[in-house]
A and B are shown apart, each in its own frame.
Chain A
Amino acid sequence: MFDRNPMILEATPSTVTDTPAESISETPAAAPGIRVAVSLELILYVALVLLSLTLRLAELGTIPLSDGEAHEALAAFRAIEPRAAGSPLVSHNPLMFTANVITMSIGGSDTATARLPTAILGVLLVASPLLFRRWLGRVQALIIAALLAISPVLLLASRSMSGAVWAMALAVVGIYWLGKFIETRRAAYAILCSIALLMLVLMAEPGGFLTLVGLAFGLSFALSTVDDPDLEYRRAVAQGLRDWPWIRAAVIGGFVIALTAMVFLLYPQGLSGIGDVLYQAVRGLTTRPAGYPFAFPLLVSLLYEPVLWVFGLTGAYLVISRDGSFLQRAMVGWLIASAAWALGYGGAEPGDALWLTLPLAALSAITLEKMLAPVRDRFWNVPAWGPYVQGVAVAATLAIAAINLVIVGNGIMSSNPELLPSIPQPILMKVIMVVPALLLTVITFFLVGSMWGARASWHGTGIGVLLILSIYSFGSGWHAAVVNADNPRELWHVRPAARNLNLMQKTLVVASLRATGMPYDMEIVVQPGEGDPFDDGALAWALHRFYNTQFVTSLAPTVNAPVVITADTSEPPKLGAAYVGQDFPLTYRWERSSLKWDFLIWLYDRETRAQPNASDRIVTWVRADIYGLLPESRAPDAR
C-alpha cells in the first residue's frame, strides 16, 4: 500500500518505518491480552502530554472569561439551564458549544469547566503528531509534539476557548483520514475526512473555511512543485477524487453536523450557530473587529513564536531547495496560504495564529531533526556532544546580550524620551555589553568551525538559538496565559476581563448570603453601560449563577434589589433605597500606539510607560441594610 501510493511520501532517512513500535502496531491481534511496550518515545510523549496538560489546566478557573469567551460559555449555559438570566445566545463555535453543553451538564458551570473542552483538545493537538508518525518518522513527529507543547499560541488558544483550536484539531484529523483513505481506499475514511472538513468550515470557527482553503492550496502547491515526471501524484489525486464517495459523504456529513449542532436533538436552535459561523466568516472578509491590529494572527505568531519562524522558514528553505517530499511541500504551501490569510483576513482572531503554528512546527521539525542529529562530516570527526556544548555556550552569550538589552530597555523607559532616548551613562555601558556578548557568539562559531568544521558550528549555533528562543517562547506564553491574563499590553489580549471580577463575585456571594441566606438567590438588577454587551459578555458570565439577575436598559427609581450594578457614571442612580457603591474595572485597555522607545522592554517584559487604563468600570451598589451600614430606620424594610 505504501509503495503503490505516491501520496505516501518519501520518509526521511531517519524515519524508516521498520521500527519495533511500528511492528507492534501492525500486528496487535497476534498477541493475546494487553501488551504495553514502554519505550523512550512513549515516555517522552507521556511527558509532553503531562506537561501540556499542566500548562493548560493550571489556574484555568481563576482568570475571568473575556467577553468573547463569556459569550460562548453563556450560550452553552443558557441552553442547559432554564433558570438562567438573560436571553439565549447564538454560539460562534457550534462544536465547542456542543462540547460545552455536555461538559457543563456533567461538570457544572464554572469558568474552568467552560474552558475545559478546549484545553483538553489543545492537549490532544499536542499529541496529534502520533497520528502521522508513520508518515513523518518518529523523530519529526516527536519534535512537532514538543514544539506544540511549548507553543505559546497553542497554549493561549487552548486556555481561552478559541475556535481555532477546534479548527486545527479538525484539520489534523481530516488530513489523517485523508491519508488513510489514500492508503486503503476505504470509503469510511473518506466519509470521516469529509465530516471533519465540513465541521471545520461549518462548526469550528468563522475562519475555518480559510484553514480548508489553506490545506487545499498546500495540496496544489505540492502538486505543482514536486518532481513528478510520470504524473503519479496527479493521477493519484484524480483517482482519489473519482473514488471519493461524494454523495454518501455529503449526506452523512450533513446529518452528523446537524445532529451535533443540535446537541443530538436536545437543543434544536443550535443549528443557528452554523449560520452564525458562516455569516461571521463572510463578514470577516471585509470587517476587522474593533481594536484588532492589522494582520493580527501574523503579529501574534511573530511575537510569541520566533523559534518556530526561525526554524520553520529554514525548514521551508530546505524543502524547496533540496527536493522535499510531497507532504513537506504541502506544508510549505499551507504556510504560504496561512500567511496570506493572517495578513489579509480581517475577521481573524489571535487564536488564528494557529494557522501558522502547525505548518511552521512541521517545517521546524525538518530543520531540528537535521540539527539535532549527530554531525557526519567527511573531513572532521565531530563528537556527538560537541554541538550541544556549543549550543549551551551560544545560549549563554545570547542570554547575556538579552539581559543587557532588558536593562537597557528598562533604562530607556524610565528616561521618558520624546524623540530620541537620552540614555544615562550606566545604561549606555549595558548597551556596549551587548556587543561583546554577540561578538562572543560569533567568535564561538568560528572557533568551533575551526575545530569541527562549519557544519558542526551551524548545528551548535542552531541549538543555542533553539534553547534561548524556546525559553523566551515558553516564558512569554505562560506570562500571557496566566501572569498577564488581564493585561492588555499582551498583544494577545485586546480587551481582557479584569481579575477583579472574581472579587466582585465573592462580594456578591457574601451579600447574597446576608440578604437571603443562600449564596446565589439574591436579586440583582444590572444596567449595562452604553455600548457594553447587554446580557452578554464578561459581566453577564460573572453573574451567571445568580438566577435572579435582571438586565435592564434603565433603572426605575423604586428599584430596591439587594444589589444593583450600573456603569460607572458621574451621577449615581436614583434608587428606591440607600445603597453603598463599590466600583470595579470590568476590562482594561491599553493604547498600542503609545508604544515608542519602550518597545524593547515591552518585547521582553510587556512593561510600558503608558499604563493600562481600567475601562468599562462598573459600580456594584449594595443596599445599605445588607451590611447594616445605615440605621435601621433609613433602610427600607427588606423582609
Chain B
Amino acid sequence: MFFDWIAREGGAVLGWWLLTLLAGAAVYPLFYRLTSALPSRGYPLARAAGLMLIGFVYWLLNIFQLLRNTPGSTVLAGVMVLGVGLVSYATWPQRQQMPIVPWLRRNGSLVLTTEALFAILFVAWVIVRALNPSLVATEKPMEMAFLSGVRRSATFPPNDPWMSGYAISYYHFGYILMGTLANLSGVTNGTAFNLALPLLFALTGTGAFGIAYDLVAARVRNNLTPQLPRRFAERGSENQDSEAGGEVSPVHRGALGAGILAAVFAVVMGNLGTVLVEIPYQTCTAPAAYLQWMAIEDRDAYPPGDGSTCATANSASPEHWNFWWWFRYSRVVRDYDLGGKPIGAQPITEFPQFSFVLSDMHPHVLALPFAMLSIGLALNLVLGGRRLDPWEVLLYAIFVGGMVFLNSWDGVYLVLLVGAEALRRLIHNGMGRFASGDWRGIAGFGLALLALTAILYLPFFLSFRSQVQGVVVNILWPTQFQQFFVMFGPFIVILGAYLVAEAWRAGPRFNAPFARQVIGIGVGFLVVAFLVLTIWAWLRPDTRQAALQVVDQSGGLLGVLPLVLARRVQGLLTEGLLILALFVVVARLFARPAPDDDEQDAISYAPSTAFTLLLIAAGAVLTLVPDFAYLQDGFGVRINTIFKLYYQGWLLWSVASAFAVWSILAEGVPKLKRKRASARAVEPLDERFVPAQARRLFAISAVILVGMGLVYPVYAIYSRAIKEGDQSPGKVMTLDGGESLAASPDDYKVIQCLANVARSDKDVVAEATQPNIAYNVTGIYGRVSGLTGIPTLLGWDNHERQWRGSAFDTLNVYYENGQRVETRQEAIARLYNTVLWPEAQAVIKRYGITYVYVGPTERRDFDPSGIAKFDGLTPVCSSGNVAVYSAAAIEGQAPTTAGG
C-alpha cells in the first residue's frame, strides 16, 4: 500500500518540496542580506520568506493586471525576486566579508539540520494526511472553495466561488500562496489541499527551529565577541564561521537542540487535556470532583447515573475512545452565564498540533509559517542593533504587514515588531529607560510600518469587510487557572522558572520599583479602559438591553454584583500570574545600573535574553486581554478573541520556552565557561549559572510536562489517521481528498468533467443551496463550486454573511426596477423546481448561469417534476444519475411546459 502510494503520488510530494526549495533559493540573496544579524542568516526561514515575497509580487502584479494567474506568471514573480535579490546582494558593501556560498559551506550542520527537519516534518505529515485524506466536516469545504477559486480565477482578486459575480471578501493571501504552488505542480485541488497542510506544518516547525537556534547562537556569540558595542555582536558570526568543515561544536549543538525543541513545542506538542482529563476520564481514575473542577465540556462528569461515579472504564488506549475525542481539547476554556449555565459558543482554544490534526486550512493555519517569519524578523531587528534602512522597512512591511492579509488577527505581529524596535532602542541607549528621541523613533517606525502596510496591501484593504464591530468589555468570563494550565501547562512551568532565573540573574539591576509603576499604570489604564468601554457599551441600545436583561434575571443590580465578583475571583490566579510575568519582564528589561558598576550602563542582559522576555510579555498580554475585553464579531462572545490571541500566545511561548530550557539548563555550563575563558573572551553578560539542584528539578519538571503534552499528538494522530481513516481491506493511501467532498463517486466524476469542460472565467454553475448553511450542514452543499472553483449563485450563506457583514443581505437579493424580486436561494429553488422553461430561463439570464448541475443533493432537495425537465436535454457531462447541463441548451428550449 505504502510503496504503491509513493509510486503514484511521490512525484507530487517531491514537486512541492522542490518548489519550496526553489522559492527559498530565489529569495535567499535578498534575505541573506536582510537577516544578516541572525546567526542562521535566515536560512530556516527562507522558504517561508520566498513563498511570501514571490506571492506578494505575484498578487500585486495580478491586481494591477500586469500578470495573469498562470503558473508562468508565478515563475516570473520568482525570477523578479531573484533578480532584485542578486542586485541587492551585489551592491551590498559587506558581501566581501560574508559571501553566501562559503557561509553555507561552513554552516553545513545548520543547513543539513534545517533541511532534514523540514523533510521529516513534511513527509511525516504527508503520510498522516494520506492515511486519512478526507476533507469532510468543519470548514474544509469553504477552504477548498477558496483554494479552487484562487486557482481558477484568470485574474485577481479571485472570484468568490460561493457568490457569483463577486470577489472573495476574506483574508485570502494564504490561499493565493498555496494555489500558486498547486498550479505550478499541476496537482488536483484535493491533493493540493492535503499537500498544503504538511507544507505549513513543516514550514512552521522549521521557522520555530530557526528562531530558537538564532536566540541561542546569538546569546553564545555575545559572550564570545568583544563587547564594544557591548550588547551587540559583531555583524556576522565569526565564531561559528571559524568552525571548519561544518563540524558541530557545543555551541552549535546547543543551538540546534534548542531549535529542534522549539519545533516540537510549536507544532508537535499538544495541550495537557489528554493526560489531565481524557485519560483519567476514560480509565475512571479521576474523582468526579476533579472532573467537575476541570470542567471540560462533556468531561465534567461521568456519563451514567448521577455522574458521581464511573460505571464502565475504557482503556487508556484511544482505540476504544469515542469518535473525535481529540476535538474536545480545542475547547478547554469554558464560559458560563450568570446562572452557571455554559454559554452557547464556547471559546476556541486551538493550538497548532490540533489544527494540523483537524486539518482545516483556515487562515490562522495558513499564517503559521509567516508568523514565525515575523518573529524571526523582529529578532533580526533586535540583534542588528541599528536602525533599519528604508528598503529594509519596506521589506518588513511586506513580510510582517502581509500578516494582515493572511489572517487579519495576526496584525499583532506589527505590534510585536514595534516592540522589537523599542527593545532595540532600549538596549542601544543602555540607560534602562527610553530617551525622548527613542519615543519619537519608535512612533516613527510604527507609523512608517503601518503606512507602508496600508499602501502595499491597499487593494486588499479596499475590498475587505471586517466582521469586527468593536471592542466589548468582558465582565463575566475570566479564564480559570486550571483550564489555563491545561492549555499552556508546559509553557507556564518553563517560562515561570525562566522568569525566576532571570530575576535572580538581574540581581541589583532588577528594577522592581519601575516595574511596579508600569504595572500600576497599566492596571490603571486597564481600569479606565474598562470603564470607558463599559460606558460605551451602555450607550449602545443592544448591549444595554442585553445587560439589563441579565440584571433583571439575576435579581437586580444587588443580585448581580456578588455573582459578578465571585466570577471575577475565579480568574484572579490566571490574571495575577500573567501580570506577575509582565512585572518580572519589565523589571528585568528596564534595568537600573548596579551600584558597583563603573559604567553608566544599566543594561547587562544579552539581546537574546531581552527578546525572549519580549516574547514572554507579548504572550502574556495576548492571553490576558480576553479576560477583560474581546472583539465583537458575529458570535457576540469571546470565542474568536480567545482563539486567535491564545493561538499567537502559543507560538510566541513555544519559541521563548525553547530558549528558556536552554538558558536554564545549558547557559553557563562549566564546559562553555572553560572554552570562553580559554578564548580570552570578554566578561560575559549577566552570567549567573542556575544552581545544579535547581537545574535538575527544572529538567525533571520540564520533561514530565512536555511528555504530557506529547501524549496528545500520539493519541490524536492515531485516532485521526488510523482509526478514522478508511478501514476497508483494500484501503488505498492517497492525498486526493476531493472525492470525500462529493456526494457519490458519480458526483465526483461529473464535477471533475465539468472542471475540464468549463473554461471561461465568466462561467457560473447552479447547484443546490439552502438557507442558513454553515459547517453544520446536513447535506452536501457548495461542493461543485467548491471543488471546481466555478462560482455558484450561493454556497454556504452563513459564511457569506460572516464575510460580508451587513452587505450580504443586500447582495443576496435581486432587485428589478427597485422592486425586490428574489434572494439567491429562491432563485436556485425556482430554477430547479419550476416546470416552466421561461421561469428557468429567466433565472439563468439574470445570474449569468452557464451550467446547471443535477446531482444527488439537487435530486433530494428539489421537486422531482422540476428536476425531470432536464432529462430531455443532452448533458455536457454525466455519470449514473448525475449530470450537468449547459445553460445554453436550456435557454434554447421552447417556452412551453417542460416535457410538454
* Chain B positions 883-897 with a Cβ under 8 Å from a chain A Cβ: 886, 888-894
Indicate if A220 sits at the interface (CB-CB under 8 A): no
In contact, B87 and A250 (Cβ under 8 angstroms): yes
Indicate if B802 sits at the interface (CB-CB under 8 A): no
The 10 closest A-B CB pairs, nearest first, are: A558-B892, A275-B76, A556-B892, A276-B72, A275-B72, A279-B72, A554-B886, A275-B73, A278-B75, A556-B888
In contact, B67 and A269 (Cβ under 8 angstroms): yes
Indicate if A385 sits at the interface (CB-CB under 8 A): no
Q: Which residues of the partner chain A approach B894 to less than 8 Å between Cβ atoms?
A: 558
Given A87-B760, A254-B83, A553-B758, is A271 in contact with B889 using a C-beta cutoff of 8 Å?
Answer: no
In contact, B876 and A278 (Cβ under 8 angstroms): no
A259 vs B225: C-alpha distance when bound (angstroms): 49
A271 vs B889: C-alpha distance when bound (angstroms): 38
In contact, B888 and A555 (Cβ under 8 angstroms): yes
Indicate if A552 sits at the interface (CB-CB under 8 A): yes
In contact, A272 and B886 (Cβ under 8 angstroms): no
Q: Per-residue CB proximity of B856-897 to A under 8 Å, as 1/0?
A: 000000000000000000101000000000101111111000
A binding-site residues for B, Cβ under 8 Å: 87-88, 90, 202, 246-247, 250-251, 254, 262, 268-269, 271-280, 282, 534, 552-559, 576
New contact pairs (14) apart from A250-B90, A278-B75, A280-B72, CB-CB < 8 Å: A202-B79, A250-B87, A262-B66, A269-B67, A271-B66, A275-B72, A278-B72, A279-B71, A553-B757, A553-B759, A553-B886, A555-B888, A555-B889, A556-B888
Given A87-B760, A246-B90, is A554 in contact with B72 using a C-beta cutoff of 8 Å?
Answer: no
Residue of B nearest to A557 (CB): B892
Q: Which residues of the partner chain B approach A254 to less than 8 Å between Cβ atoms?
A: 83
Contact partner, B72, options A88, A90, A557, Cβ 8 Å: A90
A268 vs B62: C-alpha distance when bound (angstroms): 10
**B64 CB, min distance to chain A CBs, angstroms:** 7
Contact partner, A275, options B70, B91, B891, B893, Cβ 8 Å: B70
Residue of A nearest to B761 (CB): A87
Residue of A nearest to B762 (CB): A87
A88 vs B76: C-alpha distance when bound (angstroms): 19
Q: Which residues of the partner chain A approach B519 to less than 8 Å between Cβ atoms?
A: none
Q: Which residues of the partner chain B approach A246 to less than 8 Å between Cβ atoms?
A: 90
Indicate if B74 sits at the interface (CB-CB under 8 A): yes
21 contacts between A and B (CB under 8 A): A90-B70, A246-B90, A268-B64, A268-B65, A269-B68, A272-B68, A275-B67, A275-B70, A275-B73, A275-B75, A278-B79, A279-B70, A534-B759, A552-B888, A553-B758, A554-B874, A554-B889, A555-B888, A556-B889, A556-B891, A557-B889
Indicate if B251 sits at the interface (CB-CB under 8 A): no
In contact, B876 and A553 (Cβ under 8 angstroms): yes
Q: Which residues of the partner chain A approach B67 to less than 8 Å between Cβ atoms?
A: 269, 271-272, 275
Q: Which residues of the partner chain A approach B72 to less than 8 Å between Cβ atoms?
A: 90, 272-280
Q: Which residues of the partner chain A approach B892 to less than 8 Å between Cβ atoms?
A: 556-559, 576
A35 vs B758: C-alpha distance when bound (angstroms): 65
In contact, B70 and A272 (Cβ under 8 angstroms): yes
In contact, A558 and B73 (Cβ under 8 angstroms): no
A427 vs B809: C-alpha distance when bound (angstroms): 87
Q: Which residues of the partner chain A approach B758 to less than 8 Å between Cβ atoms?
A: 553
Number of CB contacts from chain A to chain B under 8 A: 97
Indicate if B669 sits at the interface (CB-CB under 8 A): no
**A320 CB, min distance to chain B CBs, angstroms:** 34
Q: Which residues of the partner chain A approach B874 to less than 8 Å between Cβ atoms?
A: 554
Q: Which residues of the partner chain A approach B761 to less than 8 Å between Cβ atoms?
A: 87
A386 vs B73: C-alpha distance when bound (angstroms): 62
Q: Which residues of the partner chain A approach B12 to less than 8 Å between Cβ atoms?
A: none
Number of B positions contacting A (CB below 8 A): 37
Indicate if B631 sits at the interface (CB-CB under 8 A): no
**A395 CB, min distance to chain B CBs, angstroms:** 50
Q: Which residues of the partner chain B approach A251 to less than 8 Å between Cβ atoms?
A: 87
A254 vs B88: C-alpha distance when bound (angstroms): 14
Residue of B nearest to A535 (CB): B759
B90, B757, B758, B892: most-surrounded residue (chain A CB, <10 A): B892
A556 vs B888: C-alpha distance when bound (angstroms): 5
Given A278-B76, A282-B75, is A250 in contact with B889 using a C-beta cutoff of 8 Å?
Answer: no
Indicate if B77 sits at the interface (CB-CB under 8 A): yes
Q: Which residues of the partner chain B approach A268 to less than 8 Å between Cβ atoms?
A: 64-66
**A444 CB, min distance to chain B CBs, angstroms:** 58
In contact, B75 and A247 (Cβ under 8 angstroms): no
**A287 CB, min distance to chain B CBs, angstroms:** 10
Interface residues of A, dominant DSSP:
helix
Q: Which residues of the partner chain B approach A87 to less than 8 Å between Cβ atoms?
A: 154, 760-761
Residue of B nearest to A554 (CB): B886
Q: Which residues of the partner chain A approach B757 to less than 8 Å between Cβ atoms?
A: 553
Q: Which residues of the partner chain B approach A279 to less than 8 Å between Cβ atoms?
A: 70-72, 74-75, 184
**A276 CB, min distance to chain B CBs, angstroms:** 3
Indicate if B476 sits at the interface (CB-CB under 8 A): no
Residue of A nearest to B69 (CB): A272
Q: Which residues of the partner chain B approach A272 to less than 8 Å between Cβ atoms?
A: 67-68, 70, 72-73, 76
Q: Which residues of the partner chain B approach A576 to less than 8 Å between Cβ atoms?
A: 892
Q: Which residues of the partner chain B approach A554 to less than 8 Å between Cβ atoms?
A: 874, 876, 886, 888-889
**A250 CB, min distance to chain B CBs, angstroms:** 5
Q: Which residues of the partner chain A approach B284 to less than 8 Å between Cβ atoms?
A: none
Residue of A nearest to B889 (CB): A556
A552 vs B758: C-alpha distance when bound (angstroms): 10
Q: Which residues of the partner chain A approach B79 to less than 8 Å between Cβ atoms?
A: 202, 274, 278
A552 vs B154: C-alpha distance when bound (angstroms): 18
Indicate if B61 sits at the interface (CB-CB under 8 A): yes
A463 vs B75: C-alpha distance when bound (angstroms): 50
**A443 CB, min distance to chain B CBs, angstroms:** 61
Q: Which residues of the partner chain B approach A269 to less than 8 Å between Cβ atoms?
A: 65-68
Indicate if B86 sits at the interface (CB-CB under 8 A): yes
A149 vs B87: C-alpha distance when bound (angstroms): 41
Q: Which residues of the partner chain A approach B66 to less than 8 Å between Cβ atoms?
A: 262, 268-269, 271
A550 vs B83: C-alpha distance when bound (angstroms): 42
**A76 CB, min distance to chain B CBs, angstroms:** 16
A247 vs B91: C-alpha distance when bound (angstroms): 8
In contact, B888 and A275 (Cβ under 8 angstroms): no
Q: Which residues of the partner chain A approach B86 to less than 8 Å between Cβ atoms?
A: 250
A216 vs B890: C-alpha distance when bound (angstroms): 61
**A578 CB, min distance to chain B CBs, angstroms:** 16
Q: Which residues of the partner chain B approach A90 to less than 8 Å between Cβ atoms?
A: 68, 70, 72
Given A250-B83, A268-B66, A269-B68, is A557 in contact with B76 using a C-beta cutoff of 8 Å?
Answer: no
A39 vs B483: C-alpha distance when bound (angstroms): 98
Residue of A nearest to B68 (CB): A272
In contact, A274 and B886 (Cβ under 8 angstroms): no
Residue of B nearest to A246 (CB): B90
Residue of A nearest to B850 (CB): A553
A177 vs B279: C-alpha distance when bound (angstroms): 76
**B454 CB, min distance to chain A CBs, angstroms:** 24
**B511 CB, min distance to chain A CBs, angstroms:** 49
Q: Which residues of the partner chain B approach A553 to less than 8 Å between Cβ atoms?
A: 757-759, 876, 886
Residue of B nearest to A206 (CB): B72
Contact partner, A276, options B70, B154, B759, B876, Cβ 8 Å: B70
A576 vs B66: C-alpha distance when bound (angstroms): 42
**A466 CB, min distance to chain B CBs, angstroms:** 44
A544 vs B297: C-alpha distance when bound (angstroms): 67
A183 vs B184: C-alpha distance when bound (angstroms): 44
In contact, A271 and B90 (Cβ under 8 angstroms): no
**A519 CB, min distance to chain B CBs, angstroms:** 27
Q: Which residues of the partner chain A approach B889 to less than 8 Å between Cβ atoms?
A: 554-557
Q: Which residues of the partner chain A approach B154 to less than 8 Å between Cβ atoms?
A: 87
A106 vs B61: C-alpha distance when bound (angstroms): 29
* Chain B positions 28-78 with a Cβ under 8 Å from a chain A Cβ: 61, 64-68, 70-77
A279, A282, A576: most-surrounded residue (chain B CB, <10 A): A279
Q: Which residues of the partner chain B approach A557 to less than 8 Å between Cβ atoms?
A: 889, 892-893
Residue of B nearest to A276 (CB): B72
A583 vs B751: C-alpha distance when bound (angstroms): 33
Q: Which residues of the partner chain A approach B91 to less than 8 Å between Cβ atoms?
A: 247
**B773 CB, min distance to chain A CBs, angstroms:** 29
